């Protein structure tokens, strides 16, 4: 009976993994077709659509997405650290309400956020401005940095801080030399998740992006509304390969489990 349940569980997991990977595999195969329409190559393989990427406007959109993702993730992290310290280390009236407020973008549909941000930016004159786009992304991704910062601060061993205080170290030195290194894995994991979310954000960005601040997801969305060639498949495959290389490098240098789980040095 135990063996049967084990095989059934393995079969279920295999089917689940196949269900997740099948669309990615199909997209990867379509990217290598030599044809001008969506098809899986059977006899001939080509890098035609990968070469076409370099002669398109997807490259500027990629750099805009990279800049917006890095900037918004960094700003969100800088705001989240003091907020996490205040809510994790201190008890005060409205503490739970403040945490819920910071995490509320997770509960609001991005369409609603997009419409609201568009209206607000039109009132303050931030339309067609990359600063407004970055601020919109900060609102969307801040819950990711805040949650991992809170987890890192809650799970760290405070005896190291107390030892530093007892030896006369000022608060600024304790934070810089003791607290920050111990919570750094959680902060790095939060920054990474926030960057991924920002880089992939489409729904809200469609409302606030302008022709001069078109991100890669928005440009891909615009492209597939007018074209049915394998260009988007080649871009998606290139991004998947880039993600795999980056994950392999991070696993070798730092360790993905430590980075994403936010496990610091206790």
pLDDT digits (tens, 9 = 90+) for 92-147: 888 888 888 888 998 989 999 999 998 998 888 877 788 989 999 999 999 999 99
Give the domain CATH number at 219. 1.10.3720.10
Total-model pTM: 0.85
Domain limits for position 73: 57-229+256-261
- Confirm whether 235 is domain-assigned: no
Query: What's the burial of 23, exposed, middle or buried (CB within 10 Å: 0-12/13-18/19+)?
Result: exposed
- Confirm whether 103 is domain-assigned: yes
DSSP codes, 105-129: GGTS-HHHHHHHHHHHHHHHT-TT-
pLDDT score recorded for residue 2: 47
- Confirm whether 81 is domain-assigned: yes
Count of domains in the chain?
Answer: 1
Mean pLDDT of all residues in the chain?
86
C-alpha span between 183 and 161 (Å, rounded): 12
- Confirm whether 90 is domain-assigned: yes
- Confirm whether 114 is domain-assigned: yes
- Confirm whether 246 is domain-assigned: no
C-alpha span between 120 and 132 (Å, rounded): 10
Whether residue 264 is predicted with pLDDT greater than 60 in this model: the reply is no
Query: What's the burial of 57, exposed, middle or buried (CB within 10 Å: 0-12/13-18/19+)?
Result: exposed
Tokens linked to 259? 């980075």
Asked if 194 and 148 count as a contact pair (C-beta separation under 8 A), the reply is no
C-alpha span between 195 and 148 (Å, rounded): 14
- Confirm whether 20 is domain-assigned: no
- Confirm whether 44 is domain-assigned: no
């Amino acid at each position: 009976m135990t063996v049967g349940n084990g095989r059934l569980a393995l079969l279920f997991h295999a089917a689940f993994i196949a269900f997740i990977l099948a669309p990615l595999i199909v997209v990867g195969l379509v990217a290598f077709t030599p044809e001008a329409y969506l098809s899986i190559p059977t006899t001939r393989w080509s890098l035609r659509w990968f070469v076409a990427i370099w002669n398109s406007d997807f490259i500027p959109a990629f750099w805009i997405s990279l800049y917006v993702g890095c900037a918004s993730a960094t700003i969100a992290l800088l705001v989240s650290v003091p907020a996490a310290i205040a809510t994790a280390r201190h008890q005060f009236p409205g503490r739970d309400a403040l945490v819920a407020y910071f995490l509320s973008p997770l509960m609001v549909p991005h369409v609603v956020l997009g419409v609201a941000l568009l209206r607000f930016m039109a009132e303050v004159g931030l339309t067609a401005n990359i600063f407004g786009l970055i601020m919109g992304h900060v609102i969307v991704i801040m819950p990711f940095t805040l949650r991992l910062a809170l987890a890192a601060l809650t799970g760290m061993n405070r005896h190291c801080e107390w030892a530093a205080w007892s030896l006369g170290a000022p608060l600024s030195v304790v934070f810089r030399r003791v607290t920050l290194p111990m919570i750094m894995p959680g902060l790095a994991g939060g920054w990474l998740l926030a960057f991924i979310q920002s880089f992939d954000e489409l729904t809200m960005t469609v409302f606030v992006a302008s022709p001069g601040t078109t991100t890669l997801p928005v440009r891909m969305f615009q492209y597939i509304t007018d074209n049915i060639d394998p260009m988007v498949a080649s871009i998606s495959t290139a991004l998947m390969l880039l993600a795999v290389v980056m994950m392999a490098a991070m696993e070798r240098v730092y360790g993905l489990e430590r980075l994403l789980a936010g496990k610091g040095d206790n």
